[in-house]
Amino acid sequence: MTILVTGGAGFIGSNFIFYMLDKHPDYRIVCIDKLTYAGNLSTLAPIMNDERFRFVKADICDREAVYTLFEEEHPDIVVNFAAESHVDRSIENPSIFLQTNIIGTSVLMDACRKYGVGRYHQVSTDEVYGDLPLDRPDLFFTEETPIHTSSPYSSSKAGADLLVQAYSRTYGLPVSISRCSNNYGPYHFPEKLIPLMIANCLNDKPLPVYGQGLNVRDWLYVEDHCKAIDLVIHKGREGEVYNIGGHNEMRNIDIVRLICHELGKPESLITYVTDRKGHDMRYAIDPTKIHNELGWLPETGFEDGIRKTIRWYLDNRPWWEEIISGEYQNYYERMYGNR
């Protein structure tokens, strides 16, 4: 069994590769990644010499490179993590999001058609459903919730999802889609809430909370997401969408306070800054379908997961310090300088 993983030098893709090599010792994993600012080859260093693993630096929009790789490897399954993934960057400049997230997805699916791949899996997001109001805690996103996006990022992911469904219906391509809530854990790029707050806390820097910090996200430990995708690609029904989420809703401000507390830092570091444009209020996934059909349940509780995550950032300072010492500083200044 050969699995082609795109975007495997990023946060969730790398965790997925580690999980799969461990869980399925007889599988071969081929990773294609463009190594954008979010991709980090050092993350994959421990498996670079593993004969079951191959890394290829390429853009999923590069049709020739993608077709050549499919010809060489004949993957049985393709799992597409590759994306521009940060909402704030999509607000600053949407075009690369449309290119990678939509065009890249179509190139990969064309290759799957051409080379007869058994399953194309699209890693999508709960953000395609838009947001829920804070005063209706009874509402959750199900797979039937209409697509209703807010940001250029979520719109590009929704566009890709629609294209995946179109390839299924029009060409009979064997596809599946998973829509997951916010992940956290090791190798999370420090532009996102949890790793940014951990890094800033450890450097005694202000903790920039957007608006009043009341927005709610449904946090899932990354390994639980990887387990869910493993189930969907092997046992999930073709053509289906599966929601993945941890029933773990938390307000941003409570997460930031918790991180301060765990690291022994004062809450006076918290700084309220101008809100994100079009900021989604609440995400909450109903994961009943994947539970009933595939028996998936999250295994790592938030208290345990956040402690493991903080421990990882403490033990792996060179990994994130290298990132935040480079081009990231320009990004940080642009994003937070005058906020």
Give the Cα separation of 339 and 336 in Å (integer): 5
Q: What are phi and psi of 59, to 5 degrees?
A: -95, 135
Site string for ligand NAD, 43-62 (x = CB under 6 A): ----------------xxx-
217 binds ligand NAD (CB under 6 A): no
Full DSSP string of 124-186: EEGGGG--B-TT-TT--B-TTSPP---SHHHHHHHHHHHHHHHHHHHH---EEEEEE--EEST
In the list ligand DAU, ligand NAD, none, the entry touching 98 (Cβ below 5 to 8 angstroms by class) is none
Least gap, CB of 10 to ligand DAU (angstroms): 10
Contact between 183 and ligand NAD per CB under 6 A: yes
Determine, following the binding rule CB under 6 A, whether residue 217 of this chain makes contact with ligand DAU: yes
Least distance from ligand DAU to the Cβ atom of residue 64, Å: 28
Interface residue with ligand NAD among 120, 129, 167, 189 (CB under 6 A) is: 189
Q: Which does 119 bind (CB under 5 to 8 A by kind): ligand NAD, ligand DAU, none?
A: none
Per CB under 6 A, the segment of 85-93, 96-104, 293-301, 326-334 that binds ligand DAU is: 85-93
Query: Which has the closest alpha carbon to 339: 149, 133, 92?
Result: 92
What residues contact residue 22 under an 8 Å CB cut-off, 6+ apart?
Answer: none
Catalytic residue among 84, 129, 131, 153: 153
Alpha helices in 190-295 (DSSP H): 193-202, 222-235, 252-263, 288-294
Q: Is the dihedral of CA 14, 213, 90, 79 positive or negative?
A: positive
Among this protein's residues, is 88 annotated catalytic? Answer: no
Which chain residues interact with ligand NAD by CB under 6 A? 6-7, 9-13, 33-36, 38-39, 59-61, 81-85, 100, 104, 123, 125, 157, 180, 182-183, 189
Query: Which residues are known to be catalytic?
Result: 126-127, 153
